[in-house]
Homo-oligomer: A and B are copies of this chain.
Amino acid sequence: MTPLEAYQKLEAQERRASAVSGAMSILHWDKAVMMPPGGAEARGTQMAELSLILHEVKTDPVRADLIVRAEDGSVELDTWQQANLAEIKRSYIRATALDPALVRNLAQSNTAVEMAWRLAREDDNFASIAKPLQGLIDLVREEAACLGEALNLAPYDALLDGFEPGLRETEIEGLFAKLNSVLPDFLDEVISAQAAAPHQPEIKGPFPIADQKALSFEIMADLGFDFGHGRLDESHHPFTGGIPDDCRITTRYHEDDFFQALMGTIHETGHAMYETGLPKAWRDQPVGQARGMVMHESQSLLFEMQAGRSPAYIGYLGEIARKNFRRDGPEWQGDAFASAYHRVEKGTIRVFADEVSYPLHIMLRFDLERALLSGDLRTADLPGAWNEAMTRLLGITPDNDREGCLQDIHWYSGAFGYFPTYTLGALAAAQIFQAAQDAVPDMDEQLASGQVKALLEWLRTNIHENGSRISTNKLLMQATGKSLATDAFLTHLKNRYLA
Contacts and interface: CB of A to CB of B under 8 A. Distances in A.
Interface of A: 15-16, 19-20, 22-23, 26-27, 30, 34-39, 41-43, 45-46, 48-50, 53, 226-231, 242-243, 245-246, 283-284
A114 to B, nearest CB: 22
B38 A22 contact: no
Contact of A23 (B15, B16, B23, B231): B23
A227 B46 CA distance: 21
12 contacts: A15-B49, A19-B49, A20-B46, A22-B42, A34-B231, A35-B246, A36-B227, A36-B229, A39-B229, A41-B245, A42-B246, A45-B284
A403 to B, nearest CB: 33
A442 to B, nearest CB: 32
B46 A229 contact: no
A368 to B, nearest CB: 38
A126 B127 CA distance: 74
Contacts of A50: 19-20, 23
A62 B214 CA distance: 56
Given A19-B46, A27-B26, A50-B23, A36 B243 contact: no
A229 B41 CA distance: 11
B229 A38 contact: yes
A111 to B, nearest CB: 17
A45 B26 contact: no
Number of copies: 2
A181 to B, nearest CB: 47
B49 A20 contact: yes
B49 A16 contact: yes
A195 B116 CA distance: 70
Contact of A27 (B15, B23, B49, B283): B23
Given A20-B50, A36-B230, A42-B246, 14 more contacts: A15-B49, A16-B49, A19-B45, A19-B46, A22-B42, A22-B45, A23-B27, A23-B46, A26-B43, A26-B46, A35-B246, A38-B229, A39-B245, A42-B245
Residue among A230, A246, A283 having the largest count of chain B Cβ atoms under 10 Å: A246
Nearest to A57: B53
Contact of A228 (B16, B38, B230): B38
Contacts of A243: 39, 42
A253 B229 CA distance: 25
Give the 9 A-B residue pairs with the shortest CB-CB distance, closest first: A39-B246, A19-B49, A38-B229, A38-B228, A23-B46, A42-B245, A19-B46, A22-B46, A19-B45
B30 A26 contact: yes
B43 A246 contact: yes
A27 B35 CA distance: 12
A53 B243 CA distance: 20
Given A16-B49, A46-B19, A38 B245 contact: yes
Contacts of A16: 49, 53
A34 B45 CA distance: 23
Contacts of A242: 39
Contacts of A41: 245
A19 B24 CA distance: 12
Contacts of A228: 36-38
Nearest to A44: B19
Residue among A26, A226, A229 having the largest count of chain B Cβ atoms under 10 Å: A26
A46 B246 CA distance: 12
Nearest to A227: B36
Contacts of A246: 35-36, 38-39, 42-43
B283 A231 contact: no
Contacts of A45: 15, 19, 22, 284
A246 to B, nearest CB: 3
A13 B306 CA distance: 52
Contacts of A27: 23, 26-27
Nearest to A41: B245
Nearest to A53: B53
Nearest to A231: B36
A13 to B, nearest CB: 11
Nearest to A17: B49
A29 to B, nearest CB: 9
Contacts of A30: 26, 30
A80 to B, nearest CB: 20
Contacts of A34: 34, 231
A229 B43 CA distance: 12
A248 to B, nearest CB: 9
Contacts of A48: 19
Nearest to A48: B19
